[in-house]
Amino acid sequence: MAKAIQQIDIQQATAEEQQHKDIAALMTQIADNKQSISSMLEIIEQLEATGALDIMKGFLSAREKIGTIAVEQINQPNIHHTIKNTFYALGFVGHVEPEKLRTMLESVQHGIESASSHAEKTEKTNLWGLMKSLRDPHVVTALSTMVSFLNGMGKELEEKGDSH
Amino acid sequence: MVMKKVTISINGQEIEATEGQSIFEAARDNDIYMPGICASQPDLGVGVIQTCDTCFVDVNGKLERSCSTTVEQGMKVTDNSDKVKEAQLEGMSRILENHELYCTVCDNNNGDCVVHNTAEHLQVNHQKYPFTPKPYTADNTHPFYRYEPDQCILCGLCVEACQDLQVSEVLTIDWERKEPRVIWDNDVPIDQSSCVSCGHCVSVCPCNALMEKSMLGEAGYLTKMPKNILEPMIDVTKEVEPGYSGIFAISNVEAAMRESRIDKTKTVCTYCGVGCSFEVWTKGREILKVQPHPEAPANGISTCVKGKFGWDFVNSEERLKTPLIRKGDKFVEATWDEALSLVAEKLQGIKQENGSDALGFIASSKCTNEENYLMQKMARQIFQTNNIDNCSRYCQTPASAGLMRTVGIGGDSGTIEDIAAAELIIVVGANPEESHPVLATRIKRAHKLHNQKLVVADLRKNGLAERADLHLHPKPGTDLVWITAVAKYMIDQGWEAKEFLSERVNNVEEYMASLDKFTLEYAESVTGLTQDTMKKVAEMIHESTATCILWAMGVTQHMGGTDTSTSIANLLLVTGNFGKRGTGAYPLRGHNNVQGASDFGTMPNFFPGYEAVDDDTIRSRYEKAWETQLPKEPGLNNHEIVAAIHKGSVKGVYLFGEEMGLVDSNINYVHEAFEKLDFFVVQDIFFSKTAQYADVVLPAAPSLEKEGTFTNTERRIQKLNKVMEPLGDSKPDWEIFQELANKLGADWNYQSPGEIMVEAASLAPAFAGVDYQRLEGWDSLVWPVDKDGQDHPLLYEKEFAFPDGKAKLFPVDWTPPYEAGEGYNLHLNNGRILEHFHEGNMTYQSDGISHKVPNPWLEVSPELARERNIETGALVRLTSPYGKVKLRVWVTDQVKGNELYLPMNTRKEIEAVNKLTSSYHDKDTHTPNYKEMQVKMELLEAKGESPIVVGNFRLGNPQPQVGVRVSEKWGRKDFTPIPELIEKEGLFDGQSDTAN
C-alpha cells in the first residue's frame, strides 16, 4: 500500500551533533595521551616565550611568496657556482686519502708558523742568506714536494687541454 | 603444446630458453635484468615495437636488439661489454633528449617508472643530448587523462596498445614532422577524438607523459607545489646537479615514502561480465588510479572507461549512509538495530500469518557469491521458501537453460583465451564492443592481426559488425530460423562432424528429423536473409577448424529465447565445435556476477551449483548442514513474484542490489506491484527508484568496501579485497544478512566471507575446491573446481555434463515474436552503451563520464529520418501499448529502416525504455521479451541540441594502422642506427659513469 516517496528526513542537527561527536572523540584521545600532550604544550609555551612561534607564523603565512623569493635567489649563476663548487670541494676532499692529507696539512701548519715567526723578526734576508737556506734539508724536502705537486698538476692540465 | 627448449649463454652464464622467445624474454624468465623500455612490458599483449633502442646486446659479436632477436641454440649473448654499455647508453641518451628528469617532483615516481629505473640501471649520469622542449603544449582536454609532449619519449607503447590491443585505432605517432609526437585521430584535442577512454594508453605509458588526472598533484609529497616554485626548482636541480645518481637517490627515497600513504589493493570490476581485475591505488578514500596488471587472468592490462575511470560513485554525496524507515509519507533515519528489528518482525509476521511463500527474495548479480549464498540460505533456512531469484532472469537464464538442455552446464564452454584463439567467431544479438569491451578487444585484435574471421548477426551495424567479414541483418526475433537452416544446410552438404556426432552426441536422429521445415527457402522468407548469405555462413563454419558462437540479450530476451539459445548449441554440436581449444558456446553475461549469483543458489529451483531443490538426496544434504527441514517445491521466479504480488499471494519482498523499478520490463506494472506490498525491504548503495517504494531502506557497501568473490562470464571465480572502509554506517550485504538472520535466532557466526565460501564449497560439489588461499593475488579458479583445486577452464574435452557423458541435440521450433498491433509500426531495439552501466546510478556520478555522455538518445535511421523529416536533435515521443517516453534523436546509419535503438541507461522514467516494454516473456524461463516491441513515433520539436555532445567518441575519426610504424622512425634523416654510430664513433668512453 506504499506509494513511491522521495522525501528523506535527514536528522539535521547533523552539523552540531557531528561536532559534539567529534569533540567527544578528541577528548578521549587527549585523555589517552595526557603525558605527551602536556609535554607538547610546554614546548609550545617555550617557543611562544622566545618569539619563535611568531617567526614561524609569519613564515608559514607567507610561504608561497618566500618560496618564490628563495627559489629566485637560488636560481642565480653565482649561487649555482656556490652550490656546484661546494659539490666539487666535497668531491675533492672525499678523494684524498686522509693520512696523506693529514701529513700535508700538518706540514702546511708548521710552514705557516715558521713563516709568521720569520715575518716577526723584521730583519731582512739577503740573497746569500736565501741561497744558504737552500742547503737546509727541511727546505729541500718542502721544495721537492712542491715540484712533485707541480709536476702532477701539469700533467692533469695537459690532459684536460688535449681533451678540450 | 610443449615448446622446445634451447640453451644460450648470457655473459657466460648458461640459461635455458624456450624456442621462439626473444633474448629479452629469456633473460627476464631467468631473472636476468636487461634494460628495455619499450620491451619491458612484453606481457602486455603489445607487440615487439623496437622504438626505444635501450636493449642492445652483443650477439655472437654483433649488436642486436634483445627484444626482437629470437634465441637460437648455442647463442652467445653479452650485455656487460663496453661496446654494449655504450650502445645502451646511447639509446637512453636519445630518450632523455625527449624527457626531463625531475623525478622527485613527478607524480609517476612510484617505484615503477620504467624510464627512471632504466636510466638508473644504466648509471646515466649526464645528458649527452640536452633536453629540448617540443613546440607543443600539454593536452589537458580529456576529463580523465593528460598528454604532456615534453615528457613523451616516443616509444609508442600507447599507440601500439590503442591500435593493436584495444583496437580503437585512435593514436598514432606522426613520424613525418620535425618534432614527432603522439596525435589523436587526425590531430585534434584528445577530448574531441574517437578515444573511448579505455585507459590502455595511460596504463602502458612507461613514464609520466600520459597520466591519469586523478594522480596529478596527489601521488607525490612535493608534486602539488605551485608552478612558480616548481619550475625554477627544476632549473636549479638541472643547473647544479652533481650527476643523476644524486637525483635518483633522492627520488628513490621519496618513492619509498609514498608507499606508506598509498595503498594498492586488488579488486574485481563490477561493470560487466568480463571480470577485469586490477589494483586500485588509494590515499584514504581518494582513488588515485586504477592500475591493471599483466597477470590479471581475464583482462591483463586491459580496461574500459568504466573500470578504469568510473569509480567516483563510492564517495558520492548521494550514497545511503544510514538505514531509513518509512513513516507516513517520508523516510526517517534509523539505527541498524531499529531497522533490522522492524524487518525481522514484519517478515516473520507475514510468514506466520500468510505462510512462507507469501515472501519473495530478489538477489543481486552485482553482489558477491558469498552474499548470494547467504541470501538463498536465509530464504530457505529461516523463511522456508524457495521464492528467490536474481536478475539473470532478466537477461541470461534462457542461455543457461539452452545449454543445460544440450551440453549440460549453463556457462561459457571455455575462456576468453579460446575466443581469441578461434578461427571463426560468430556473434549473434550482442554488442560486445560496448557491453563487454575488454572481451571485444580480443576479437578485434585477432581479427585485425591474426586472420580470425568474424560474422556478426545484429539489427544494428555496431562496432564489431562494422569490422566483420559478414554482417547479417535478419528480421527481429528470427535468429533461430537462420541458425537452424544453416545447420540443416551443412548436414545436407555432408559437412556435419560425423564422428563427433556418433561418439559424443545423443538424440541425433530425432534432431535430424526435426529439421525438415528449415529449408533455405523457408529461412529466407522468415528472416529476410538471402540464401547465399546463409550458405556463406555455412561455408565459413565448414572451413574453420575452431568456431565460437557468442550471444547475448538479442537472443535471450525473446519469447523463444531459450529455444534460440538451444539452436546455437545444436549448431555447434552438429559441427563438432565443443571440447577443443578455440571452440564453444559463449553466452556473454551482462553483469559482473550474473554467473555467480545463479551459481550460488539464488534461483527458485536450484541450490548452489545448479542442484535441484526437489531432489531428495541433494536437499537432505542441505537439511543436515542447516539443521532444518527445507521446502521441496521450486519457488517463484522474479517474474512470477511480481505476478503473485498483483494476485495478492506474495505480501513481503526483500530485495538487494537491484534497480528492479527501472530495469524490469513493463515498469508501470512493476511499480503497481510494489505499491501493493505489505512490507518491502530494499538494500542498495543509492536511494534508487525501487527504494522509493520501500518500507525499510538498508544502506549497503559497494564492491570496493568489502571482500568476497565474483564469477565472470568464463565461470572464473576471482577474489576482491577491501579497498576502503564502508562509508558512514553502510555495511557489506553479507554482514546485514547475518545480523538479520541472528535477530531471527539463526545464530550464524561468519567472521569473514571466506568462511561463507568454506561452507558453500563443502555443500556444492561444483565448488568443492574453492578456497580463498587459492584465490590470493591474481590467482583464480574456473569452475567446476575439484577438491584438490584442479579447475576446468575448457569444458567437455572428454565428456559432456550428463550422466552418460554425451551431449544431446534438442529439437526446437521458432516462436514468432510479439506484435504490438495496428499502428505500432517501428521496431524498438534496446540495450547498453559503452559509457554507462545499467540504469546509471553509479556511472552518472562520474563528472567525466557525464561530460562525455550526459544522457541517452534515440537512434533513428537516415531512411526513416528522411521519411519523417526528422533530424539529429529533434525531440520525439515514443508510444507503445504500455507507456510513453520522450527523447532526442540521433540520426545514424548504425540502425536500418524502421528499426529504432534506445539505450537503457537512464535514471529518468521519461527516458526509460521499460516504460514501453511488455510483460510477455520467454516461454521456458520467464525472461521478459525486452527485444520484442513496436512503437509509434511523434515529433514534438523539430530542432534541438544533439543528444550526442562534443566529447562523445562516436563523433570521432579513427585512424587505423598496424602498430606504431617504427620503420618510419628509422627512415628519418636524423636517425642513425645505434650499431652504426658505435662503429663510427669508436669506443671513446668505456666508463658510463664518467662525466663527459
Q: Chain B closest CA to A104's CA: distance in Å? A: 28
Q: Chain B closest CA to A124's CA: distance in Å? A: 49
**Residue B127: per-residue pLDDT:** 78
Instruction: Calculate mean pLDDT across residues B382-409.
Output: 93
Domain pair B397-587 / B826-955, same fold: no
**Residue B795: per-residue pLDDT:** 97
**Residue A95: per-residue pLDDT:** 83
Residue boundaries of the structural domains of chain B: 1-96, 102-131+220-261, 324-395+594-704+726-732, 397-587, 826-955
Say whether pLDDT at A3 is over 60. yes
Phi, psi of B485 (to 5 degrees): -65, -40
Q: Identify the residue among B236, B318, B319, B320 best suited for mutation to test binding to A, counting A beta carbons within 10 A and taking the highest.
A: B236
What is the C-alpha separation between B979 and B977, in angstroms, rounded?
Answer: 6
Closest residue in chain B to residue A5, using alpha carbons only: B692
How would DSSP label each residue in B402-428? Answer: HHHHHTS-SS-SS-HHHHHH-SEEEEE
Say whether pLDDT at B704 is over 90. yes
Residue in B349, B366, B356, B411 with CA at minimum distance from that of residue B388: B356
CB–CB contact B226 A4 (8 Å): no
pLDDT digits (tens, 9 = 90+) for A102-142: 888 888 888 888 888 877 776 677 788 888 888 888 888 88
CB B760 within 8 A of CB B608: yes
Q: How many CB atoms lie within 10 A of CB B452?
A: 24
Is the domain spanning B826-955 CATH 2.40.40.20? The answer is yes
pLDDT more than 70, % of chain B = 97
| Region at B448 (left for phi over 0; alpha for psi -120 to 50; beta for the rest) | alpha
For residue B327, give every residue at least 6 positions away whose Cβ sits within 8 Å of its Cβ, in sequence order, or none: none
**Residue A63: per-residue pLDDT:** 79
Query: Which of the 8 DSSP states describes residue B145?
Result: E
**Residue A82: per-residue pLDDT:** 83
Task: Classify B324-395+594-704+726-732 by CATH class.
Answer: alpha beta
- Evaluated on CA atoms B193, B194, B199, B203, the torsion sign reads negative
Q: Chain B closest CA to A103's CA: distance in Å? A: 29
Instruction: Calculate mean pLDDT across residues B125-133.
Output: 84
Pairing status of strand B277-283 against strand B286-292? antiparallel
Which residues in A lie closer than 8 A to residue B996 (C-beta atoms)? 163
**Residue B461: per-residue pLDDT:** 96
Which residues in B lie closer than 8 A to residue A163 (C-beta atoms)? 996
CB B400 within 8 A of CB B410: yes
Closest residue in chain B to residue A70, using alpha carbons only: B229
Considering only the beta carbons, identify the residue of B240, B324, B333 that sits closest to A84: B240
Q: Which residues, in sequence order, are bridge partners of residue B937?
A: B878
Instruction: Calculate mean pLDDT across residues B834-861.
Output: 95
Q: Which residues, in sequence order, are bridge partners of residue B5?
A: B18
Q: What is the pTM of this model?
A: 0.89
CB–CB contact A2 B675 (8 Å): yes
**Residue B992: per-residue pLDDT:** 42
CB–CB contact A68 B228 (8 Å): yes
Q: Which three cell numbers stand for residue B591?
A: 553483469
Phi, psi of B902 (to 5 degrees): -125, 110
Residue in B110, B29, B95, B106 with CA at minimum distance from that of residue B66: B29
Which residues in A lie closer than 8 A to residue B678 (C-beta atoms)? 1
CB–CB contact A2 B677 (8 Å): yes
**Residue B850: per-residue pLDDT:** 96
Lowest mean pLDDT among A47-56, B350-359, B532-541, B703-712: A47-56
Instruction: Calculate mean pLDDT across residues B560-570.
Output: 97
Bigger pLDDT: B237 vs B957: B957
Q: Band of the pLDDT at A157, cuts 50, 70, 90?
A: confident
Return the amino acid letter for B654. Y
Residues from A in contact with B at Cβ < 8 Å: 1-11, 64, 67-68, 71-72, 74-75, 80, 83-84, 87, 91, 163
Which residues in A lie closer than 8 A to residue B674 (C-beta atoms)? 2, 4
pLDDT digits (tens, 9 = 90+) for B62-100: 999 999 999 999 999 998 899 999 999 999 999 999 998
For residue B46, give every residue at least 6 positions away whose Cβ sits within 8 Å of its Cβ, in sequence order, or none: B157, B160, B161, B164, B165, B204
pLDDT more than 90, % of chain B = 86
**Residue B663: per-residue pLDDT:** 85
Q: Which three cell numbers stand for residue B543?
A: 572451413
Instruction: Calculate mean pLDDT across residues B797-812.
Output: 96
Q: Band of the pLDDT at B40, cuts 50, 70, 90?
A: low
What is the C-alpha separation between B102 and B227, in angstroms, rounded?
Answer: 13
In angstroms, the first-to-last Cα distance of chain B is 52
Classify domain B1-96 by CATH architecture.
Answer: Roll (3.10)
Instruction: Calculate mean pLDDT across residues B101-119.
Output: 89
Instruction: Calculate mean pLDDT across residues B377-399.
Output: 93
CB–CB contact A71 B236 (8 Å): yes
**Residue B123: per-residue pLDDT:** 86
Q: What is the CATH number of domain B397-587?
A: 3.40.228.10
Give me the torsion for CA of B639, B643, B645, B648, rounded to 10°. -150
CB–CB contact B330 A7 (8 Å): yes
pLDDT digits (tens, 9 = 90+) for B945-995: 999 999 999 999 999 999 999 999 999 999 999 999 988 876 544 444 433
**Residue A122: per-residue pLDDT:** 67
Which residues in B lie closer than 8 A to residue A14 (C-beta atoms)? none
Q: Which three cell numbers stand for residue B460?
A: 544494428
Which residues in B lie closer than 8 A to residue A68 (C-beta atoms)? 228-229
pLDDT digits (tens, 9 = 90+) for B741-772: 999 999 999 999 999 999 999 999 999 999 99
Residue boundaries of the structural domains of chain A: 19-61, 97-163
Output the average pLDDT for chain B.
93
In angstroms, the first-to-last Cα distance of chain A is 95
CB B39 within 8 A of CB B88: no
Q: Which three cell numbers stand for residue B723?
A: 579497498
